C-alpha cells in the first residue's frame, strides 16, 4: 500500500486553488462529478503523475464544513522557512505565529491555514 492523496472539501475552488498555488502546488486536472461536484487535483513539482491533493467543491454547499477535532494538518518541507514566509506574506498568507522549534537544534516550523481553515505545517529543510 501507499498513500495516494489527501482530499479536502472546500467552499470556493478558485480561492483554494490560489492558496495552494502560493504554496507551490500546480493544478494537474479537474473532474466534474455530474452536476453535483467538481474535483480539482494538484501536485507539487516532482510528485510524478499522481496528484497529492484533491480539492472537492460540492456545488450545493454554502456553509463552512466542520473540520472537527480529529484533523491535524498536512506538512510541507520548505528550503528556507524565512524566505518562504516572506514570499507568502506578499500574497497575503501569514503564519499563525512566528517559526519555532520543538527542541534545541530542531527544525524550525510554523503553521498557515488555507481559506477553509485547514492547517498546513511548513518545515524548514535545507
- For the chain (length 126 residues), average pLDDT per consecutive 10? 84 96 96 94 89 94 87 91 96 96 91 96 86
Predicted local distance difference test score (pLDDT) of residue 3? 74
Q: How far is CA 106 from the centre of its chain?
A: 23
Tell me yes or no: is domain 6-124 CATH 3.40.640.10.
no
Instruction: Report, as residue numbers or ranges, the catalytic residues.
Output: 121
Predicted local distance difference test score (pLDDT) of residue 2? 75
Predicted local distance difference test score (pLDDT) of residue 1? 62
Predicted local distance difference test score (pLDDT) of residue 106? 87
Q: Where are the domains of the chain?
A: 6-124
Predicted local distance difference test score (pLDDT) of residue 126? 59
> Which three three-digit cell numbers place residue 101?
522549534
Q: How far apart are CA 72 and CA 62, in angstroms?
A: 23
Q: How many residues does the chain have?
A: 126
Amino acid at each position: 500500500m501507499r498513500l495516494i492523496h489527501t482530499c479536502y472539501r472546500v467552499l470556493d475552488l478558485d480561492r483554494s486553488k490560489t492558496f495552494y498555488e502560493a504554496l507551490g502546488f500546480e493544478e494537474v486536472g479537474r473532474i466534474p462529478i455530474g452536476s453535483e461536484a467538481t474535483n480539482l487535483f494538484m501536485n507539487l513539482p516532482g510528485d510524478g503523475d499522481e496528484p497529492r491533493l484533491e480539492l472537492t467543491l460540492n456545488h450545493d454547499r454554502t456553509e463552512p464544513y466542520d473540520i472537527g477535532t480529529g484533523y491535524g494538518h498536512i506538512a510541507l518541507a520548505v528550503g528556507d522557512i524565512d524566505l518562504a514566509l516572506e514570499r507568502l506574506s506578499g500574497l497575503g498568507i501569514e503564519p499563525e505565529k512566528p517559526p519555532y522549534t520543538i527542541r534545541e537544534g530542531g527544525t524550525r516550523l510554523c503553521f498557515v491555514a488555507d481559506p477553509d481553515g485547514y492547517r498546513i505545517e511548513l518545515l524548514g529543510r535545507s
